[in-house]
């Protein structure tokens, strides 16, 4: 997956709706604001990935840590991009690029 696809997939998994990869916009979950906002850049923002990680339940967190360890034996050093991929793999939403 390319970064735009990853960002959209993570945003949708976190509850964003009407997400557009072209403009990186959508409606934020639980937002009072009616209209479009920019989705987070999950591939390049560790803070955004930290918020996404909060969506995982305890069983998923265990799987997520195993996925992250595939990139780095010390999960603390995984990049935002690596965390985003691990997040999507954990949820079964990762698509291999052809």
Report pLDDT for 28.
82
Which residue segment(s) compose the domain that 61 sits in?
A: 3-90
Q: Could you tell me the sign of the dihedral formed by the alpha carbons of 6, 63, 13, 48, in that order? A: negative
Whether 53 maps to a domain, the answer reads yes
pTM for the model: 0.89
Report pLDDT for 31.
67
Whether 96 maps to a domain, the answer reads no
Over residues 4-28, the pLDDT tens digits come to 999 999 999 999 988 887 778 888 8
Whether 86 maps to a domain, the answer reads yes
Q: Could you tell me the sign of the dihedral formed by the alpha carbons of 58, 64, 66, 72, in that order? A: negative
Instruction: Give the span between the Cα atoms of 46 and 32, in whole angstroms.
Output: 25
Mean pLDDT of the chain: 90
Over residues 33-47, the pLDDT tens digits come to 656 688 999 999 999
């Amino acid at each position: 997956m390319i970064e735009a696809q990853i960002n959209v997939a993570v945003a949708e998994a976190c509850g964003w709706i009407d997400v557009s990869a072209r403009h990186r916009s959508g409606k934020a979950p639980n937002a009072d604001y009616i209209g479009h906002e920019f989705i987070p850049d999950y591939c390049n923002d560790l803070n955004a990935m930290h918020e996404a990680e909060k969506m995982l339940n305890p069983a998923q967190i265990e799987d997520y840590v195993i996925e992250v360890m595939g990139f780095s034996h010390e999960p603390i050093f995984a990049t935002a991009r690596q965390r985003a991929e691990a997040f999507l793999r954990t949820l079964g939403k990762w698509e291999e690029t052809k």
